[in-house]
Amino acid sequence: DIQMTQSPSSVSASVGDRVTITCRASQGISYWLAWYQHKPGKAPKLLISAASKLQSGVPSRFSGSGSGTDFTLTISSLQPEDFATYYCQQANSFPWTFGQGTKVEIK
């Protein structure tokens, strides 16, 4: 199985800050990577697919990059509604696997 490792596991940031989350795959997955936002009690929300494709309706302050084994999710200017847990997920091969999550907290 492909292991996905996210860092950091948590980050404290202020509104307006730039936040970067990294995700590393244990083997090459080309660009088959998705990023999700999850808030407690809510359905997870797909933000980015194919490593860098922003989903419809997702604010442009979110961006994704990378290919192969190393990927990045960037929030360019953190907004109050962005405080949540973020997960990467590889879609290269089954079983699909998620990173352990990165909790973005208010500083």
Residue carrying structure tokens 């309706």: 57
Alpha-helical regions (H) of 3-89: none
Burial class (CB in 10 A: 0-12, 13-18, 19+), 73: buried
Would you say 19 or 33 has its CB closer to another protein?
33
d(CA 74, CA 63): 5
The least distance separating another protein from the CB of residue 16, rounded to whole angstroms, comes to 27
Binding site for another protein (CB under 8 A): 1, 31-34, 36, 38, 41-46, 49-50, 53, 55, 85, 87, 89, 91, 94-101
The least distance separating another protein from the CB of residue 79, rounded to whole angstroms, comes to 22
Would you say 48 or 75 has its CB closer to another protein?
48
